[in-house]
Amino acid sequence: MQVQPYLFFDGRCDEAIEFYKKTLGAKVEMIMRFKDAPDQSMISPGSADKVMHSSIKIGDTTVLASDGRNTGKPNFQGFSLTLYAKDEGEADKLFGALSAGGEVRMPMDKTFFARRFGMLADKFGVGWMIIVPAQ
């Protein structure tokens, strides 16, 4: 069994994919646009070139993403994605890149459970936790 996150960017999916390619080295595995759907009756006006479904690889994890209903108001609550960094330098680099234009929720620091840990919401509102485990 496998659990994969599916993120809905409500009209900003292309921008998010480019951001994750730049900040995390994400690789696009596939993108399907609304204009490619066989039944166009459910497609809202102006959505033809928006992302209906995509799959991107971040490290060893596949993250699925879409523009969803294209409301322009992505809303990510009740979860965070976690990145395990190999060392403190990588953790700081990832944290800095992801937090650009976003919100730092807990600055990177040493904790009782990790050599380095921090929390942020990126510029799309997606929550991230960056960690370098104690061991």
pLDDT tens figures, 81-115:
999 999 999 999 999 999 999 999 999 999 999 99
The pTM is what?
A: 0.93
Percent of the chain scoring above 70 in pLDDT: 100
Do 16 and 57 lie in one domain? The reply is yes
Give the domain-ending residue among 66, 95, 117.
Answer: 66
The residue range of the domain holding 110 is 81-133
Exposure b/e, 79-94, CB count within 10 A at least 16 = b: eebebebeeeeebbeb
Do 55 and 92 lie in one domain? The reply is no
Q: Structural domain tally of the chain?
A: 2
For residue 19, being part of any structural domain is answered with yes
How far is Cα 30 from Cα 101, in angstroms, rounded to an integer? Answer: 27
pLDDT band at residue 49 under the 50/70/90 scheme: very high
